[in-house]
Amino acid sequence: MLAHTPLIEITPPDYDVVVDIRYATAHNFTNKAVYARPACFLHPDAATCVRRAIAYAADFGMRLKIFDAYRPPEAQWVLWNHTPDPNFLADPAKGSPHSRGVAVDLTLLDAQGHEVDMGTAFDEFSPRSHHGAEDITTDAKRNRLLLLGIMTSAGFDFYRNEWWHYQLFNSRTYDLIPDAHSGAHMMPT
């Protein structure tokens, strides 16, 4: 990848998704806004995969709802300083796939626009959030498997501890993107 490849903003109608950037609100595990504004940016390679995932979800009468995508390294530090748990957050000293613009956190919406049951909320840092968790309903297991199939067919890898997190394969081969060079203007609040 070329250093500082411009990120692509993922917005309707160009991308048929619902964007609900949780870290721009207090509706996240920190209980405060981490981003200054709710924007969804991805590296062009990841944006291509999201476009494929949108089409695959549509085949099932569903849509994607995106909770997070590009995350400035400064914001990764805010999250890490709040909850330094390497089972659920990348150590910012090593860099996160989110801070490279190649990761997306998301869920599925049914035909009526409601989030489907995934067994836990987004960012529930517990074993119940792991792929393969047994103590969730059959419907939640089915929905997680459907999202897994959609996202991996679209070209993403998954993170075993978070049903909502998908990233490009070989994510560490992509450069960390400081906010000043991303065009995202999402510096932490």
Distance (Å, rounded) from C-alpha 69 to C-alpha 84? Answer: 20
- Scanning the structure block, which residue is given the tokens 């393969």? 132
For residue 134, indicate whether it is catalytic.
no
Residue 140 is encoded by which pair of tokens? 């939640």
Q: Which of 9, 74, 134, 162 is an active site residue?
A: 162
Residue of 151, 154, 167 lying closest to 52 (CA atoms): 154
| 155-158-159 Cα angle (round to 5) | 155
3-state secondary structure 138-187: HHHHHHHHHHHHHHHHCCEEEECCEEEEEEECCHHHCCCCCHHHHCCCCC
Catalytic residues: 162
